[in-house]
Amino acid sequence: MSNTLGIMERVKTTDTRIWTPEAGANREEQLAATLVKRYDDALELGRHTMTGDWCIWLMRGPDKPPYPVIGLGPVLPSPDTLIERLQAADTRLHGDAMLQRMNAENETVRAQERAASEEATAMAAEAYEWAARDIKGYSGRTANVKGRKRNMKEKT
């Protein structure tokens, strides 16, 4: 599996030069390119010239550079895997379900953060209460120096 993030950090992300399988490419590459094109006319299979990773690119017209939408890594996946990846990432088909899943995950994270925050607040309140009692001399031993001296004088 390729470390796409690390590679893209080393390469300018604005560099969108791609190599696309043409008539001279091998059969697997041509088949994969045809499958991607049949799935959606706006998509094209290509290989990034700097990284060597296969990627599915969104072609945004003649005035704008292509935009990488699905990274496939350095090895071209099988046609079945390619179609599965396209379908899994298709926001037109699964956009609502993806959004609901993301919102549910975000709510779970928020609930965990809220619980941790409430626990930390409770611990801080308990520590504050303990310190306040200790300073006022309520806890049996006192940190109040004047109080100790007075207690010592009363005992003698």
Query: Same structural domain for residues 64 and 108?
Result: no
The pLDDT mean for the chain works out to 76
SS3 153: helix
Domain count of the chain?
2
Query: Same structural domain for residues 72 and 126?
Result: no
SS3 69: strand
Cβ atoms of residues 60 and 67 within 8 Å: yes
CA torsion through residues 100, 102, 108, 110, sign:
negative
Query: Same structural domain for residues 62 and 100?
Result: no
pTM confidence score: 0.50
Query: Same structural domain for residues 97 and 64?
Result: no
Query: Same structural domain for residues 36 and 102?
Result: no
Query: Same structural domain for residues 71 and 28?
Result: yes
Query: Same structural domain for residues 17 and 31?
Result: yes
> pLDDT in tens for each of the 156 residues of the chain?
445 555 555 544 555 555 556 655 678 888 888 888 888 888 888 887 778 888 888 887 778 888 888 888 888 888 889 888 888 888 777 778 888 889 999 999 999 999 999 999 999 988 888 887 767 655 555 455 555 544 444 554
Query: Same structural domain for residues 110 and 145?
Result: yes
Query: Same structural domain for residues 81 and 97?
Result: no
Query: Same structural domain for residues 68 and 145?
Result: no
Query: Same structural domain for residues 15 and 79?
Result: yes
Last residue in a domain, options 59, 89, 119: 89
pLDDT digits (tens, 9 = 90+) for 42-87: 888 888 777 888 888 888 777 888 888 888 888 888 888 988 888 8
Structural domain harbouring 82: 4-89
- A 10 A CB-CB count for 79 gives 14
- Half-sphere CA count of 149, side-chain side, radius 13 A: 3
Query: Same structural domain for residues 11 and 84?
Result: yes
